[in-house]
Structure 1
Amino acid sequence: MSPEELLSIWTELAEAPPTAAGLQRIRLEIDAAADIFACIFWPSRRPGLLIEGEGAHRPAGDRIPACRGVRMVHEILPGTEPRTLLRVMLAEEDVSDIFAVMSADLVAATATQPSAASALRRCIDRLCMWQGLFEKIPAEGLSEEKQRGLLGELLVLETLFLPRMSEIEAVDAWTGPDPAHQDFIRGGLAVEVKTSLAKRHARIQIANEKQLDDRPHEVLLLAFLRLDESATHGDSLPAAVARVRQRLGSAPGATQALDDRLAMSGYLDVHAPRYVRNRWQCSERRYFRVEGDFPRLTEANLPAGVGDIRYSIIADDLGEHEILEDEVSAIVGETDG
């Protein structure tokens, strides 16, 4: 069930007159232990989902996650055979595109569960994930700077990790969307990815004092990608996403893991048409080993009481720490997760 299919169903349901039941609904034709309906809720005429199943099932702590622009209601119908209902409905029109993507994800996650109880639990777990995403993802999509940063991480995933390990291992190594301090972590190796549009004296922006701290890792590498705007030969972010998805093919779990990480990065396919006009070509890729006297600020060399810092380093001044891509490839190939 795609977001576009759900939007079409909601449009059709909205054209019907209101009913005494307070909603128009249609059962989604999927083989699932729980009953899953696409709905239009009256009188607000808002689209949403109704997921229900046998038994009284309560979320941990009786807490239903709350997402910006989305209303969620958990209800248990009493009786000799109680039923649990979970209503998820759009509350603010400006997040309707994201809501459609979330709803399609909820349907996919719920439909694979073997019982109504596990389906409802899985749905609530996915809602918890989306709770954070709704706060992170602007309704208009990612800024150009965020697009470039994500493109850089995908290029490193594609060229450095995917050729040297299994698909799921490579995707699992991508920690950039998680609250990790480096973008890739695999065994004792960590790789931080930075991009820049500057032709000369490019400044590499470092977000905090832990980003270039090699102490938790056996090897810490800084990958620097110089991107040039190119309307003809460059990569758009959706093109890079499509290429990596194709590379993963049908590898078990890898495509879903990639899509989860893309969502955590703020990337949704529904925004892809807004991104295709922005294209960049990677004109230079350099790797630096972060150790010893590499220019950086870390917790170890900050004065007492100083923290939460941001600073920059000059890429052209890091020559003595540069290592060749063949050596980088060997390091990645030797990592043991």
Structure 2
Amino acid sequence: MSPEALLATWAELGEAAPSPSGAQRIRLDVDAAADIFACIFWPSRRQGLLIEGAGEHRPGGDRIPTCRGVRVVHEVSAEPRTLIRVMLEDEGLLDIFAVMSADLVGIVAPRTNTALALRRAIDRLCMWQGLFERVPAEGLSEERQRGMLGELLVMERLLVPILGSLAAAECWTGPDPAHQDFIRSGLAIEVKTSLAKRHARLRIANEKQLDERSHENLLLAYLNLDKSMAHGDSLPMVVQRVRALAASDPAASRILDDRLLAGGYLDVHAPIYNRNRWRAGDTRYFRVEGEFPRLTDANLPAGVGDIGYSIIADDLGSYGVEDDEVVALVEAVGG
């Protein structure tokens, strides 16, 4: 079910008279192991979902996720029967809530038993809890758009042609709390972008980002971007191209969409993101080793940590790696 279909369903339900039961509802998937309903909850007339099934099913540790502007209620009735109500409380988040709700339906509906379906619903809500905290209603900042665009361009230009779409999506760790953006079998790649024409400063988030000791090879990929509405790419344009590369492999498409979601990318924000377009030059790669300018746990004074700093791209020439060597390194981890 799409977010647009859910919005239409809620609008239809909202036109009915208030229900004495406290909610107007319509079943969304008749074949699912758990019952899934789109609801309008009265008297607040709030949009939401009801996911329920026979038996007593409690989340691990009795953890009930809470999302900004969304209320989640977990109940077990006397029969027993487990109910999870997910209700919108901030109307300003309706578009994002529709995306979240459609995602929940897609996660719950295929499960083969009620317990698994309800557990997956709670797990997915936990993921969305973090997402709601990180992503404002207006979407990713311009800086975060540029960062994700750079990572996807490296995936499109380098990794998919060599590894294939599934492996490329699997090794994309940028949206996760990993220290590098791509990790696979001893090779790590950290991607940085800059708008500067000269003396570009590449922001390094912490002392582990350029620490090669956990990897056989660590590469820093650098893309210089120019603002260009006439000839540039927006983030949604690059997302669409990478999705097209993965379209023939359902597993790759699913992993890619999960990674995009974890990174805070929602299609509902595409019209906003299309206002920003950049033209990317060739990708330059540098090998992080030896005297490469960086701060790590190995060279920080005792008691110093959680630092951020910048390095100058123009000063990295002696660590440059030719394209054919980069291709060879990726091919070596392709098996």
Instruction: Give the Cα–Cα distance (whole angstroms) in 1 for the partners of residues 167 and 45 of structure 2.
Output: 45
Paired amino acid for 1:50: L
Instruction: Give the Cα–Cα distance (whole angstroms) in 1 for the partners of residues 204 and 192 of structure 2.
Output: 9
Instruction: Give the Cα–Cα distance (whole angstroms) in 2 for the partners of residues 303 and 52 of structure 1.
Output: 55
Instruction: Give the Cα–Cα distance (whole angstroms) in 1 for the partners of residues 20 and 63 of structure 2.
Output: 30
Instruction: Give the Cα–Cα distance (whole angstroms) in 1 for the partners of residues 210 and 308 of structure 2.
Output: 12
Instruction: Give the Cα–Cα distance (whole angstroms) in 2 for the partners of residues 30 and 122 of structure 1.
Output: 18
Work out whether residues 29 and 35 of structure 2, in 8 Å CA contact, stay in contact via their aligned partners in 1: no
Is residue 219 of structure 2 the alignment partner of residue 225 of structure 1? Answer: no
Paired amino acid for 1:27: R
Instruction: Give the Cα–Cα distance (whole angstroms) in 2 for the partners of residues 311 and 76 of structure 1.
Output: 51
Aligned to 1:118: 116
Instruction: Give the Cα–Cα distance (whole angstroms) in 2 for the partners of residues 265 and 61 of structure 1.
Output: 26
Paired amino acid for 2:169: V
Aligned to 1:331: 329
Is residue 260 of structure 2 the alignment partner of residue 262 of structure 1? Answer: yes
Instruction: Give the Cα–Cα distance (whole angstroms) in 1 for the partners of residues 114 and 128 of structure 2.
Output: 21
Cα offsets for 1:223-251 (capped at 9, x unmatched): 00001111111111001001100100131
Paired amino acid for 2:136: P
Instruction: Give the Cα–Cα distance (whole angstroms) in 2 for the partners of residues 196 and 178 of structure 1.
Output: 22
SS at match of 2:281: strand
Paired amino acid for 1:147: Q
After TM superposition, which residue ranges in structure 1, 4 or more long, deviate above 3 angstroms?
none
Aligned to 1:34: 34
Is residue 49 of structure 2 the alignment partner of residue 56 of structure 1? Answer: no
> TM-score scaled by structure 1?
0.97
Aligned to 2:188: 190
User: How far off is 1:6 after superposition?
Assistant: 0.3
Paired amino acid for 2:277: R
Aligned to 1:78: 78
Cα offsets for 1:242-273 (capped at 9, x unmatched): 11001001313211111111111111001111
Aligned to 2:159: 161
Moved more, 161-170 or 287-296: 161-170
User: How far off is 1:321 after superposition?
Assistant: 0.5
User: How far off is 1:336 after superposition?
Assistant: 5.3
Paired amino acid for 1:54: A
Instruction: Give the Cα–Cα distance (whole angstroms) in 2 for the partners of residues 9 and 160 of structure 1.
Output: 42
Report the RMSD for the aligned CA atoms in angstroms: 1.1
Aligned to 1:239: 237
**Unaligned residue ranges in structure 2 (runs of 5+):** none
Aligned length: 335
Aligned to 1:136: 134
Work out whether residues 224 and 286 of structure 1, in 8 Å CA contact, stay in contact via their aligned partners in 2: yes
Paired amino acid for 1:291: E
Instruction: Give the Cα–Cα distance (whole angstroms) in 2 for the partners of residues 314 and 284 of structure 1.
Output: 18
SS at match of 2:282: strand
Is residue 65 of structure 2 the alignment partner of residue 65 of structure 1? Answer: yes
User: How far off is 1:204 after superposition?
Assistant: 0.8
Work out whether residues 162 and 331 of structure 2, in 8 Å CA contact, stay in contact via their aligned partners in 1: yes
Work out whether residues 223 and 287 of structure 1, in 8 Å CA contact, stay in contact via their aligned partners in 2: yes
Instruction: Give the Cα–Cα distance (whole angstroms) in 2 for the partners of residues 30 and 149 of structure 1.
Output: 41
Cα offsets for 1:58-97 (capped at 9, x unmatched): 1112221111111111111213xx2211111101122222
User: How far off is 1:29 after superposition?
Assistant: 4.0
2:318 to 295, 317, 320: 320
Aligned to 2:101: 103
Identity value in percent: 69
Instruction: Give the Cα–Cα distance (whole angstroms) in 1 for the partners of residues 282 and 203 of structure 2.
Output: 17
